[in-house]
Structure 1
Amino acid sequence: DRLKEFPCRIEYLSRLKSASQQREICEALKAGKIDIVIGTHALLRDSVRFKDLGLLIVDEEQKFGVSAKEKLKALSRQVDTLTLTATPIPRTLQFSLMGARDMSIIRTPPPNRYPISTMVSVFDEQLVAHAIREELARGGQVFFVHNEVNKLPQLHAMLLRNLPTVRCAVAHGQMRPSEIEEVMLDFMAGDYDVLLCTSIVESGLDIPNANTIIINNGHRFGLSDLHQLRGRVGRTNRKAYCYIFTPPLDVLTPEARRRVAAIEEFSDLGSGIQISMQDLDIRGAGNLLGAEQSGFIVDLGMETYQKILDDAIRELKYGEFSELYGDELSNEGEWVRAQDCQVETDLDVALPESFVRSATDRIAIYREIDLLQDESALNQFEKSLEDRFGHLPERVKSLLTIPPMRWKAASVGVEKLQLKGGRLSLHFMSPGDSPYYGSQTFAKVQGQLSRYAHACRVRQMEDHLRVDVDGVQTVGEAMTFLDYLSNG
């Protein structure tokens, strides 16, 4: 209906169409008589043929399995493809993060939208009744989601017992398509106050008057499912509410607790990417070359996994497949710097317990510092740290001088930096046959070291080069020497 004013023929294909209607649409597609076709998985059937497919748009990408995506890939080999999702599955997100797919993030919400207030609690009939009364008092409607069809009659009876005047409809996937459509249309028309349903309402519904959703047994849903369900409300300029009921948190699995905590924490508009990152961290990136779309990497950690993956890709590029990447390898930019630089020091650089009392907070802050990438991010982090904990002690200021030293060292090919006992030790990239050692960057470093030979010792270790410089007492002096190396 939204596209009816466009000067083109538009059809849709789904199970709501009769068999004869579906055949007619397929024939028109094959003949090129339809300009735009909108459909479900039905469009992936072998009987569907296109005369000249030019653009493929995949909405709700997280709902497609690997086999469906293989069919989409076959469709889209010579076709421009746009994939849309509020919460990309772990493998898709990983492909984007590693640069295999382009990704754009829409962060600006429509005007006059408000964040959805999210609350996690154990199931409470009185709280359910209160939430429904509050929404009905302002003329709104309510979704009540429970994903067990056999329990819906009990919940329906509970609602009528506590709210005898409420008009309640029931919808689930075991009903006939025509029945589901009728219930949905009646709910959209305002004939019902509450829609008691399974997760079939997760996507495709736009009901501006429904601004409270109650999700029972929320621990049984995935993060993306919870985010999608929550997105059924708050679609207008009215404050929306999401109630998620779970058993007591202490009886949930660690993964379920993390999912519930994440959906409660990330409730701002445009927070889908943060939720997807949490999902990636919880479930893992899956099999990049196989069918699994998520994988278990909790014990390994996301950053460690990413580093191992990057190292493996670089090793293959510069080894077995170097001929395929000749043009890319001729550009030194990717490999004249180390992936990262490990810093070891005996200087007094730490977060004092008197400054940050919680051990958990201190560990989280150390991790944030480790993930900083540039001066701008460091300045913002320093301001936020002072805003949270007050004036920064000298030890903390000294700690914040470490990241710039690490970045500078990595930029000249140093993988490990030790600043101990007044000595600076630089361990350059390994292995010793790395293309780095034939680069212009290393040639400059060699030239600078030769002019500084009176004050430093250069040693060839088993698989890398090591440089020791005595008389370096502070981070500032180490930075001066690194600047000297980089300015050759």
Structure 2
Amino acid sequence: MKEDTLTSIFRNHPVLVSVRNTVAANPAGRTVIDGLTGSAKAILVAKAFQSSSRTFMVVLPEKEDAAYFYNDLTSLTDAEIVYFFPSTYKRSVQYEQTEPANIVLRTEVLNHLASGKRKGIIVTYPEALMEKVISKKNLKTNTFNIAKGDKLSIEFIEEMLQEYRFERVDFVNEPGQYSIRGSIADIFSFSEDLPYRLDFFGDEVDSIRTFNTDDQLSVSTKNQISVIPNIQDIHIEKINDTFTDFLPPSSIIIFDEAPFIKDKINDIYYQTSRREESGHVVGKKEIIITGNHLMEECSKFRIVEFGKKGFFAGEYVSFRFNTEPQPVFNKNFGLLADKLLENSANGYETYIVSESQSQIKRLEDIFSEVNPEVSFKPLYKNIHAGFTDNDMKIAIYTDHQIFDRYHKFKIRGYFSRKESISVKELTGLNPGDYVVHIDHGIGKFGGLEK
């Protein structure tokens, strides 16, 4: 795997090298790591993963923490092998409202693990891990593979999709839908965040592509695809495994605040049980596990924990880093300039991380006016939180923290959809409904005309 520019800076970090070697050499060991702040945790995980052939699972205490950690990892390593495993629900199981995009992401992770492709980093959080999942056997039973050149009729495809409880529509725009127009079948499987377009020549699959639902343009070609239905819409007795049942035995599980994660899951389990007893929800207690149960299952794997002491039983090897969070500058560029000069005087190298060349140019222009002696090295990356590593004498600052801007996370297939109105939503509008136009603001919908 190609080494990232930012992670390469820490290639010879003495503590990081020791952590990597210890985790690799200790098959049943426990490791606890203290002193990491900001995005230093993600850099450690990315660096350790680069030299490993194992599956990593990182468990963060909150959904937002997990999303930012996922973003950091996709920026620091190969984005194609980093997976986000969310809850089926918009909030948590006790509130029942499911999110189709989340089900797609969950299915993608389960399908990846069931396929035997071991290497990958899975980022998740308590509400996601406490949900039981379909077994590997039942996932395989409910998966239909289609390859270019297969002898299949469109009639057979439609029969299979109806058996999988897919909905036939004119144009697909969400998972669980399909459409057929002449020799073309569009299928929005729960195994992919984009729908498939199958082009038939007679009874042969001539081509397979993914396409964008907004503009109908092709995104990529495929030689083989897996069509999977909504795995949460399967008989409840088939959803009885924990997520850890899918992990290879050699996997490494990384916890941030393990005691909090256990207690949070126990609390949600208790609240869900109370709501079920009072009749507010039905059948949810059967598809979730307690925090105690999750920790028992996770204890079978190699464990790495962030914190001062370990939560799990067994002997721990401890490591301590010497990092501190990025200082708060509140857009005070004089204060920032003084800090960069102080860093330089103390032998520290300062990097400023930004996705935008114009932002770096803006900072260079500001420093040329405030103090021309200020210097820094730009890194064109996207990480969530800056930090200073006092062992390496390196300061990593992010531009959004310097300019005091909100840093929005992005999940592939999760928030990547355009925030414009969909065809389905547009046809559901009635004349007189209030809408917000991107250019003209609030107005009344006047209707559709041919």
* TM-score in terms of structure 2 length: 0.21
Identify, as 1 or 2, the structure richer in strand.
2
Larger RCO: Structure 1 or Structure 2 (Cα < 8 Å, ≥ 6 residues apart)?
Answer: 2
Identify, as 1 or 2, the structure richer in helix.
1
- Max Rg structure: 1
